[in-house]
Amino acid sequence: MKDKALNHTYFVLLRALPAWLQLSREARKALADQHLGAALARSHGLLTMRYFDAEAFSAPCSDVMMVETLDPRHHCFFMEQLRDSPLFSAPYFEVLNIISTVEDGYQAYEASLAVSP
């Protein structure tokens, strides 16, 4: 029995900093399109990202990125690209926490038990 690849999902908790909030909405969109868009394009479809607003519901965290990939290296490279961009280096955002998860990990573990000698 061949192992099914595990989907790795990372929840990146971010805080928008005053430098970001002082920009116009048009300037924010341009920066996000330029730098976040470029990082996603360089992933060549091996990584997906969804973005969630949390500031109306959470004090410490204003935004959450959900990044999914089958290979953790792609997440690592994606984050390095963001670290090299003004989004993280100006800084416009602070990374508060990264929660690394494996989708249905318990099911993969239970399947591995079924094939163990």
Rounded to 5 degrees, what are φ and ψ at 102? -125, 125
pLDDT at 1 over 50: no
Range from 2-6, 61-65, 102-106 that averages highest in pLDDT:
61-65
Q: Rounded to two decimals, what is the model's pTM?
A: 0.88
Which pLDDT tens digit goes with each residue over 26-74? 999 999 999 999 999 999 999 999 999 999 998 899 999 999 999 999 9
Whole-number pLDDT of residue 5: 81
Please tell me the CATH superfamily of domain 16-115, with its number: Apc35880; domain 1 (3.30.70.1030)
DSSP 3: P
67: nearest Cα among 44, 48, 92? 48
Domain ranges (residues) in the chain: 16-115
